[in-house]
Amino acid sequence: MTDTTTRTVATDLVNRDQLIARAREVRPVLQKNAAETDSLRRLPEEVVRAIRDSGLCRLMVPKRFGGYQTSVRTYIEVMVELGQGCGSTAWVASLINVCAWLAALFPERAQKDVWGPNPDAWIAGSLAPNGIALPVEGGWRVSGRWPWASGSMHAQWVACGIHMENEKGEMTNLGLSLIPIDEVTVEDTWFMVGMKGTGSNTIIAKDAFVPEHRFLPYPPAFEGRYRTEHVDEPVYRVALVPVTVLILAGSQIGAARAALDYVVSKSKTRGITHTTFPSQADSSGFQMLVADAAMKIDTAFLHACRAADDLDRAADAARHPDLTERARVRMDTSLAAKYARDAVELLVQAHGTSSLADHNPLQRLWRDVHVASHHAITEWQVNLEVYGRALLGVEPNITHLI
């Protein structure tokens, strides 16, 4: 590594320790409010205040605006810590942070629009190009509906995918827009069995004006070419699609760790019904289930960290990862999600039927990891094919989102 890279890594390690410690301090607030978060279908105000005051939604905000501008690895580790407190809260924090990272890829003028008046501004988003943009002087008029916008109940800005059409109705360009929250509406549409508290509702725009400087075209961005003038900031050189996939892993790993901690904590005082075991911990079968779950969680974490380190190293070297490297990040994320889900299944089996009682936190963790791990972009069989095609040089691949 160069001297500059060495200094950057050393600084980030200090930030990582401090930010992880801060996330650990916030966790009891998240745990205390986890059931209410689930029932409200959004974050309670106490949780919003704790996350905002801790600065844990400014991980990816540029230092120029008072953010931490931290590495992808630190980002993942902080989200894992938050996920041990509440899966929904960690998911929201993760999506708010990645939208901050996306905003930092826009021109300086757009960044000032967002963080100039409010360094704590949160951005929620939906990257699919569901909006139609019509050209007007100075920009576009945008209309559309964007579902699954996590954290939209708490944001001040939205990042929404848009596309332009020619007179034949053919798409001529597509990308991401930044719009103030008061220029759109949020429709309450998030009714799911798990991750209920994420408030992943639908953003609706009707003829919202998007100035030219608040548009980030996808085609060059997918190749690592962004609009920020600050090309000397390594984290804003990270490959776009891989990082927007990887950030989904942290909250799930954290939820799986919380399930493991809970089952272990109860194992000495719970027997195994219809057996002679006075405590679960005395049973070899129980021990093996717990060990299997623990190793799956560790493996999920190691793969997520490998992917994060790969992205950070490439960005530090000002290098866009090749197709196989990018496909492996999708595969790493998919494995992390699958193993988190598999681990919680084992822990529910080990703990027993009461795992699924309404009063038991395991049932919420079980629901959360099932919903989160089935996100379309982390589906196991899809990513096996994506990675396999990349390894074998089979073209075209089944998606351009690599």
In tens, the pLDDT along 69-104 reads 999 999 999 999 999 999 999 999 999 999 999 999
Which residues, in sequence order, are CB contacts of 281 under 8 Å at separation 6+?
267, 268, 287
DSSP 8-state secondary structure symbol assigned to residue 7: H
Note the pLDDT of residue 169: 79
Mean pLDDT in residue range 271-279: 92
Tokens representing residue 367 in the block: 């629901």
CA–CA dist 327, 353 (Å, integer): 39
**What pLDDT, on a 0 to 100 scale, did the predictor assign at position 167?**
78
Percent above pLDDT 90 for the chain: 94
State the Cα–Cα distance between residues 167 and 46, nearest whole angstrom.
50
Contact call for residues 348 and 366 (beta carbons, < 8 A): yes
Q: How many helices (H) and strands (E) does the chain have?
A: 12, 7
Answering whether pTM is above 0.75, one says yes
Q: Which amino acid is at 362?
A: L
Q: Give 304-310's long-range contacts (Cβ < 8 A, gap of 24+).
A: 304/76, 304/80, 304/246, 304/249, 304/250, 304/253, 304/332, 304/333, 304/336, 305/73, 305/76, 305/77, 306/332, 307/242, 307/246, 307/332, 307/333, 308/71, 308/72, 308/73, 308/75, 308/76, 308/246, 309/73
User: How far apart (Å, rounded) are the C-alpha atoms in residues 108 and 228?
Assistant: 6
Task: Name the architecture of domain 3-117.
Answer: Orthogonal Bundle (1.10)
List the beta bridge partners of residue 145.
204
pLDDT for residue 83:
98
> pLDDT-derived band of residue 6, with 50, 70 and 90 as boundaries?
very low
pLDDT value of position 129: 95
Q: What residues does 126 pair with on adjacent strands?
A: 160
> Domain residues of the chain, as ranges?
3-117, 123-219, 240-392
Fold of the domain built from segment(s) 123-219: Butyryl-CoA Dehydrogenase, subunit A; domain 2 (2.40.110)
How deeply is 51 buried, as exposed, middle or buried, from its count of CB atoms within 10 A (0-12, 13-18, 19+)? buried
Give the contacts of 181 (CB within 8 A, at least 6 positions apart). Answer: 155, 156, 157, 158
Identity at 124, one-letter amino acid code: A
CATH number of 240-392: 1.20.140.10
Average pLDDT over residues 186-198: 97
Residue 14 pLDDT exceeds 70: no
**Residue 10: pLDDT band by 50, 70, 90 thresholds?**
very low
Average pLDDT over residues 299-320: 98
* Amino acid identity for residue 155 in this structure: A
From the number of C-beta atoms within 10 Å of its C-beta (0-12, 13-18, 19+), residue 377 rates as middle
CA angle 213, 235, 214 (to 5 degrees): 10
Q: What is the pLDDT of residues 368-395, one digit of tens each?
A: 999 999 999 999 999 999 999 999 999 9
Mean pLDDT of 298-327: 98
Please give the mean pLDDT across all residues of the chain.
Answer: 95
* Model confidence band, residue 168 (pLDDT cutoffs 50, 70, 90): confident
Selection from 100, 1, 93 nearest residue 56 by Cα: 93
Q: What pLDDT score does 13 carry?
A: 61
Two structure tokens written together for 315:
């960005």
